[in-house]
């Protein structure tokens, strides 16, 4: 099933990659006029950048897990060297979480998180969030921040949390340690230049993270944020007929109904990269707002989202030990797609669960291969 899932994912991802990846859509639009002037000369958007030599000093003499640099290509994401084994706590392989990973809120609270922006569609979402007075967390791609500095600053000044989503939005476990440094530090620098504050938190694209990525990130002072509810909004944006908006809404409605009995709150995955996903965001927010206290992810986890606002130079943290899988609450990457009944949650209370064996997969198998592929790649 695992291989099958990825073959299916390959089909969809190939289409995505052959025709612009998720960011190319926004990149295709002309950047709005801005008076903002960056002092830094940033790398090209969408391309894996090179680290500054001084940044690489931060990972010297740091214990880093010896996980492979996975090969990806032709739409195929990283795959375990030995199927079924996960020696490096890879979230997309097994839902493995390390002790410092953030991925949920306490019972009664819910964090709305939006990835891949800012984009030309972000202001519509900002307007709506202002109107309903809800604060959220944006995981911003470095190249997008440089393209849309005014939007970035607007989101920050509105009181939303800004965090990182890497510079080029590649699979992080497919990058060398040095490339991981570059992806995060350029992303940090872009946000720091605009806001004056260096973000501390990042979300790995596709949720693709293992202990090697965690160790490198920790050496730079960065902490990962995953999610425990996937709206699959991206699937709708990609194939609106195959993945109708009503499915997204049905899932979210169920999450809201589950609020009284749920043992913990949610961190949901959405995107502000497409017009369609912004429309979904506006459509579903009131549903969750009635059931949960909507707060940014840093607030519900009681953490400071930014480093010292006056410095972009991370202080190396103590050597990071290999992170142990969290036994109590694993989260499976959601591939949920409602068929006759909406999936209720992407949380799977089984720490051995794999993406292909989670509850969501049963739903996928019942609705056809195309949706399975879409759902499988909706882990952005
Ligand atoms: Zn993303």
pLDDT digits (tens, 9 = 90+) for 191-226: 999 999 999 999 999 999 999 999 999 999 999 999
Is residue 142 over pLDDT 80? yes
Cα separation of 3 and 257, whole Å?
Answer: 34
Residue 90 has pLDDT above 80, yes or no: yes
Catalytic annotation present for 115: yes
Rounded to the nearest integer, the mean pLDDT of the chain is: 81
CB 42 within 8 A of CB 142: yes
Q: Could you tell me the distance, in angstroms and rounded to a whole number, from the CA of residue 75 to the centre of ligand 1? A: 15
pLDDT for residue 29:
67
State residue 308's pLDDT score. Answer: 72
Instruction: Give residue 101's domain range.
Output: 2-376
Q: Is the peptide bond before 118 cis (omega within 30 degrees of 0)?
A: yes
Read off the CATH number of the domain in which 334 is found: 3.20.20.370
Ligand 1 centroid to Cα of residue 203, in Å, is: 8
Residue with tokens 């960011």: 23
Rounded CA separation 325/93 (Å)? 12
Q: Could you tell me the pTM of the whole model? A: 0.80
Residue in 101, 116, 271, 279 annotated catalytic: 271
With cut-offs at 50, 70 and 90, classify the pLDDT of residue 75. Answer: confident
Percent of the chain residues topping a pLDDT of 90: 70
What pLDDT score was predicted for residue 155? 98
Mean pLDDT of 33-38: 92
- In the residue annotation, 271 being an active-site residue is answered as yes
- On the question of pLDDT at 55 being above 90, the answer is yes
* Lowest-confidence region among 220-224, 266-270, 368-372: 368-372
Ligand 1 centre distance from Cα of residue 380 (Å):
4
Q: What is the domain count for the chain? A: 1
- Separation of alpha carbons 62 and 51, rounded Å: 17
What are the CA-CA distances from residue 153 to residues 24, 195, 196 (Å)? 22, 6, 10
């Amino acid at each position: 099933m695992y291989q099958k899932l990825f073959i299916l994912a390959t089909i969809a991802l190939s289409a995505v990659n052959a025709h612009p990846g998720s960011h190319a859509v926004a990149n295709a639009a002309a950047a709005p006029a801005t008076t903002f002037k960056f002092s830094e000369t940033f790398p090209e958007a969408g391309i894996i950048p090179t680290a500054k030599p001084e940044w690489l000093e931060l990972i010297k003499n740091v214990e880093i897990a010896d996980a492979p640099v996975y090969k990806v290509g032709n739409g195929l994401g990283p795959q375990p060297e030995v199927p079924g084994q996960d020696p490096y706590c890879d979230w997309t392989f097994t839902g493995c979480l390390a002790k410092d990973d953030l991925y949920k809120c306490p019972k009664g609270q819910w964090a709305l998180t939006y990835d891949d922006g800012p984009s030309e569609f972000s202001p519509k979402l900002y307007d709506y969030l202002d109107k309903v007075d809800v604060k959220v967390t944006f995981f911003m791609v470095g190249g997008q921040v440089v393209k849309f500095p005014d939007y970035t600053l607007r989101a920050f000044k509105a009181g939303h949390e800004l965090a990182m989503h890497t510079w080029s939005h590649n699979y992080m476990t497919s990058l060398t340690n040095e490339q991981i440094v570059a992806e995060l530090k350029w992303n940090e620098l872009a946000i720091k230049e605009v806001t004056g504050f260096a973000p501390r938190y990042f979300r790995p694209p596709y949720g693709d993270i293992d202990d090697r990525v965690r160790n490198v990130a920790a050496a730079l002072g960065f902490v990962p944020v995953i999610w425990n509810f996937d709206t699959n909004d991206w699937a709708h944006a990609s194939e609106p007929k195959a993945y109708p908006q009503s499915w997204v809404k049905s899932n979210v409605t169920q999450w809201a109904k589950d609020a009284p009995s749920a043992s913990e709150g949610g961190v949901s995955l959405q995107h502000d990269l497409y017009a369609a996903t912004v429309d979904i965001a506006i459509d579903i927010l009131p549903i969750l707002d009635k059931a949960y206290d909507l707060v940014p992810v840093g607030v519900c986890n009681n953490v400071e989202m930014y480093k010292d606002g006056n410095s972009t130079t991370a202080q190396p943290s103590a050597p990071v030990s290999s992170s142990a899988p969290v036994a109590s609450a694993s989260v499976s990457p959601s591939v949920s797609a409602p068929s006759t009944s909406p999936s209720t949650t992407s949380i799977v209370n089984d720490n051995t669960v794999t993406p292909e064996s989670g509850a969501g997969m049963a739903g996928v198998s019942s609705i056809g291969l195309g949706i399975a592929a879409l759902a499988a790649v909706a882990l952005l």
